[in-house]
Amino acid sequence: MNIDWRKYALTLLITLAIFGTAYYVASRFDAARVSEIRATEEKIALDILSTETQYDLLGELDCETIAESPVLSSELNTLASQLSVAEGNLGDDNPQVVTLKKQYSLLEIKDYILLQKVSQKCGIKPVHVFYFYSNAGDCPDCDRAGDVLTYLRQQYPDLRVYSFDYNLDLSALETLIDLKGVRDELPAFIINNRKPIYGFRDLSEMEKLIPELKTLATTSASRR
């Protein structure tokens, strides 16, 4: 029986083209995500720069303005969730993802520094947690520790959680790790500049470790 092998070849070409197109479209979506993250980072960087410049100009911060627009932009939270999506799609060793994470970490550190200034000048008592994790496969509890902090941040919108990839090759982050004396026993937490705490803590343990949470408004309270 005669077989038209050209048809098999043509089908193969079309199928490969469809596969290629699907891959291309998926990568365009990922590229668009990276662009969106970059745009958000730029906006946050601009916000922080603006506040810093305002400080430099006036020699002091306009506490009223600051109170109206909190230093930690809520966009930093959005950025965190967007970054984790990009990390899931592109892989945590993707160069673009690593760059975005470095920028994000720098923004967190700058936000923290600014927060310190604001709290001194304006007499506010922010509650913040440094959270150090690792994606290198040496921290089985890190995802769960992240879940606990994410939940707390949802419950207490004014709680500032700064999360850092301990192994990120970023000099500013290394300085912070040295300054705070954080060992590579992850997950690690620093609550309101106290001594580092190591190891996983469940929700109730974490709440006990942050007694300042009682001073913060909860989402259920703010909804009322």
Please report, as ranges, the residues that interact with other proteins according to CB under 8 A.
1-3, 7-8, 10-12, 14-15, 18-19, 22-23, 25-26, 29-30, 33, 36, 82, 85, 89, 143-144, 147-148, 151, 200, 202-204
Residue 173 exposed, middle or buried by CB count within 10 Å (0-12, 13-18, 19+): buried
The nearest distance, CB 42 to other proteins, in angstroms, is 16
Tell me whether the omega of the peptide bond preceding residue 187 falls within 30 degrees of 0, making it cis: yes
Closer by beta carbon to other proteins, 37 or else 61 = 37
Closer by beta carbon to other proteins, 22 or else 46 = 22
Nearest in space to 51 (alpha carbons), one of 112, 100, 126: 112
The nearest distance, CB 151 to other proteins, in angstroms, is 4
Closer by beta carbon to other proteins, 33 or else 110 = 33
Site of tokens 């990568």: 27
- The number of residues in the chain equals 224
> For residue 190, which phi and psi values (nearest 5 degrees)?
-125, 120
What are the helix (H) ranges across 91-201? Answer: 95-122, 142-155, 171-180
Closer by beta carbon to other proteins, 93 or else 143 = 143
